[in-house]
Amino acid sequence: MKRKIIALMLGASFTATAFAHHSFTATYDENAEIAIEGKLVQFMFRNPHSFVHVMAPNENGEMQRWAVEWGAAGTLGRQGVTRDSLRVGDVVVITGNPGRNAIDHRLRMQTLRRTTDDFTWGTNPGEDFD
């Protein structure tokens, strides 16, 4: 009985690991790029991927919360981004690859620009992630 429980626990941990990191191609349309402009409502500076959440209009002009996937905290840190680089309320323009399911309002970050001071990411060599 103990072996079955251990086997089930190991299987569950491998399944969780498999879902923790996904294929960008499976999640995002890497052949398309869109831009959004809106107010930052959350910045999650973490591993394995950071996220920026922005309230911006969708293709119909309705305000939506967009989840923008970014690089790992360690990778971004080496590129000069810190957990204090962005603040709630910042107006940002983000370009990225849209999610394959449009109703999810997801993007894979390609570039970011804060409009108040032109802080940018993704416009200089080496500012990318996989």
CATH number, domain at 92? 2.40.50.140
Residue 95, CA atoms < 13 Å, CB-side half-sphere: 12
- Report DSSP letters for 16-35, one per residue: HHHHHS--HHHHB-TT--EE
Higher pLDDT, 129 or 68: 68
Look at residue 15 and tell me if it is in a domain. Answer: no
Residue 99 and residue 105 in contact, taking contact as beta carbons nearer than 8 Å: yes
Question: What is the value of pTM for the model shown?
Answer: 0.79
How far is 45 from 83, CA to CA, in rounded Å? Answer: 6
DSSP 48: S
Is the omega angle on the peptide bond into residue 48 within 30 degrees of 0, that is, cis? yes
Average pLDDT for residues 113-119, to the nearest whole number? Answer: 96
Residues 37-77: tens digit of each pLDDT = 999 999 999 999 999 999 998 878 899 999 999 999 999 99
pLDDT at 128: 84
Look at residue 6 and tell me if it is in a domain. Answer: no
Look at residue 7 and tell me if it is in a domain. Answer: no
Look at residue 112 and tell me if it is in a domain. Answer: yes
- Residue 12 pLDDT > 50: no
